[in-house]
Amino acid sequence: MGRKVVVTGVGVVSPLGNTVPQLWDALIAGRSGVGRITAFDASDYPTQIAAEVKEFDPSQYMERHDARRMDRFTQFAVAAARLAVEDAGLDLSDPERAESTGVLIGSGVGGIAVMEEQVQVLHSRGPSRVSPFLVPMMIPDMAAGQISILLGARGYNAAVVSACASGAHALGEAFRLIKDGYFDAMIAGGCEAAITPVGLAGFCAARALSTRNDDPTRASRPFDKGRDGFVMGEGAGILILEAESQARARHAHVYAELIGFGASGDAYHITQPPPDGHGAVAAMRRALQEAGVPPDAVGYINAHGTSTPANDRTETLAIKTVFGERAYSIPVSSTKSMTGHLLGAAGGVEAIVTVLALQHQWLPPTINLDEPDPDCDLDYIPWHARPAQVEVALSNSFGFGGHNACLAFRRYPASQEVS
């Protein structure tokens, strides 16, 4: 069966705040983080809105000379990881603990901002003026690398790239490394900073984004009949996963237990889910199988819920396939309605939201759900958060390329917590 794995620390950088309490308070209040793009002039784009991170100062989390050698996605990851390690009280100055702690971070895009910047330098000033830090700033694994360097984690160190499932895949693989006894703790999650001229242009060209520019806060509307695409977001969500035995030995606070991970490939299309949702079905079923819990045990699902016509309809069908008639009594919400779609960071941030829902016994809503799509007929917790008694919850993440990941969490019993 392997070792039990628990969550002992969480850290976020998000469009709704750069601390976990700020994020949670905004979600429960049903507040949107979407607005007009401020990072660059987007007036010539069909989409001019996004969910940007606000008031982020990298010097609060790292030395300025280190920050200058990082793309924004890595800065987010380092900040969220530092917050998570502090929250967990994980002392990595202990050589033995440092050796048994790994880092596994997902990013779907990586350093697109520095790539765009240095392409301009190449064209305007020639190859000799391209930054020697271009490659180490651009590559997606550098988030994990910099976290390891700056925080001192010497165990497993790697990156996961599976588009919008990257953060969830990173957490799932980190879970397995601890469960199977290879490491005692993992710093894991996802990060992304792709709200750039080329990033936005690419998604606009794919016709994947909402063009509701005149009403940004209502643009992300998962499961709603009037949805017209997703809203790009950015940020990072990092969790500290630990073997329960280590967490208890050091008297750590435990947020929740991670009990299962399911993954699958659609083998269907580069951007579209299969109409029958078989990949999402397989991922959820595998997560439940590893968790050793029946479908009836699930009391909440944090949906991938992108606000695109195909995803929302297909994910709804997949949930019905897995849970049968009981699907109609399981509360489901898409917090992307408030955060936007954080791409590779989505799985990390939404995993944090899921464990907070279990801890607080409150379920965040799906805002902007005015008129549900007839094919989207589940309980999506429209507009207002609600209290609930939930023992097991799922967090879904799906990505371009047909990548599917599902994480299963269980409320950590108060009788087992050690303060």
The catalytic site residues sit at 164, 304, 341
d(CA 103, CA 174): 8
> Phi and psi of 311, rounded to 5°?
-60, -50
